[in-house]
Amino acid sequence: MDWLDRMNRVLDYIEMNLEGEIDYKQIAQMANCSEYHFSRMFSSISGVLLSEYIRRRKLTLAGFDIQKSDDRIIDIAVKYGYDSADSFSRAFQKLHGIKPSEARQNGVHLKAYPKISFQISIKGDTEMEYRIEHLDFELRLIGKSKLVKTEKAFRMIPSLWSGAKKDGLMEKLKDLSWENPKCKLEGILGVCGKEAAITDDEFAYFMGVRYDGEPPNDLEILTIPPSSWAVFPNIVEAWKRLYTEWVPTSGYELANLPCIECYYGPGHKPRHELWVPVIPK
């Protein structure tokens, strides 16, 4: 399948560049998605952050090199992208539990993390609930956006929501979100960028709600054109299974619009949903 081929080509690229510079933008382009979405997709599927996977592979090969060669430790450190013996030693010891210099001793234990590969696992015992929503009108959202560094998005976005609770933005959005319901997308929304292809070093993360009235002066407006959406209950679970189980076999592909995480009010079932923009293949 095209999706699996792209993902495994990415892994091949990483493997061939462990001794050099790995370009995260190029990785995302090879996977045909944004840096942020690829990082999220990778961690959801593999259970490990992309940066952590690359670090483990580099230090696995470094361990092999130390045991098989007489090369200087500093030369091996530089080979795998570390600019000092100290930084390499700390990373090596964190992964392997011993110092690089100790790895040459007879009988020591090291850890080897092999190259991973992506496959579709067919499971018939667990259904994946979804529905298709066709919104034939423009979504007009109001809220606030913050710049997020792409490579740090996983850490920065939760902190943005924590800040929204403290500064009153969350309460303001709640007060606005249930006025004049127009569609099922009525809740607190997290929108990543303005299009799927986020290739810059940073992007705007929008926290808002759907609202048709005149916005308060301190809130921004974001519009999303009419589109079809695949909607999944349970955001965390949906992210884990979206790319491995649903997209490859659904007959749909992702549209060039942002995914939306929707958090609903008290008493709503489910409590949250992932809205994914799609188009038929």
Q: Can you list the domains of the chain with their CATH numbers? A: 2-104 (1.10.10.60), 131-280 (3.20.80.10)
Q: How many degrees, rounded to 5, is the angle at CA 71 between CA 65 and CA 74?
A: 95
| Whether pTM exceeds 0.75 | no
Nearest to 101, CA basis, from 117, 89, 111:
89
Please state, in angstroms and rounded to a whole number, the distance separating the CA atoms of residues 131 and 231. 5
Mean pLDDT of the chain: 84
Helices (H) and strands (E) in the chain, counts: 10, 9
Across the range 254-278, mean pLDDT stands at 87
Mean pLDDT confidence for 214-240: 88
The C-alpha atoms of residue 107 and residue 98 are separated, in whole angstroms, by 12
Residue from 274, 236, 157 nearest 204 by CA? 157
Cα radius of gyration (the chain):
22
Q: Which residues partner with 134 through β-bridges? A: 228
**Which pLDDT belongs to residue 142?**
92
Mean pLDDT over 174-178 rounds to: 76
- Specify the pLDDT at position 266: 77
More confident residue, 86 or 28: 86
Comparing CA positions, the residue from 108, 116, 168 lying closest to residue 143 is 168
Which pLDDT value is given to residue 195?
A: 54
Is pLDDT at 196 greater than 50 in this prediction? no
Q: How far apart are CA 221 and CA 97, in angstroms?
A: 51
Bigger pLDDT: 136 vs 120: 136
**pLDDT, position 203:** 79
Distances (CA, A) of 122 to 31, 127, 130, 245, 246: 22, 11, 17, 8, 11
> Confidence class of residue 132 from pLDDT cuts 50, 70 and 90?
very high
pLDDT of 63 strictly over 50: yes
* Pairwise pLDDT comparison (33 vs 125), residue with the higher score: 33
Residue 179 has pLDDT above 60, yes or no: no
Work out the pLDDT band at 175, boundaries 50, 70, 90: confident
DSSP designation for 102: G
How high is the pLDDT of residue 197? 45
Give Cβ neighbours of residue 40 (< 8 Å, ≥ 6 apart): 153, 154, 239
Sign of CA dihedral 73, 78, 84, 89: negative
Mean pLDDT of 240-263: 81
Query: Is residue 36's pLDDT more than 70?
Result: no
In order, the DSSP letters of 136-186 are: -S-EEEEEEEEEEEGGGHHHHHHHHHHHHHHHTHHHHHHHHHTSS--SS--
Tell me how far the alpha carbon of residue 106 is from its chain's centroid. Answer: 41
Is residue 271 predicted with pLDDT exceeding 80?
Answer: yes
User: Quick one: pLDDT band at residue 11, thresholds 50, 70, 90?
Assistant: very high
Answer whether 185's CB lies under 8 Å from 210's CB: yes
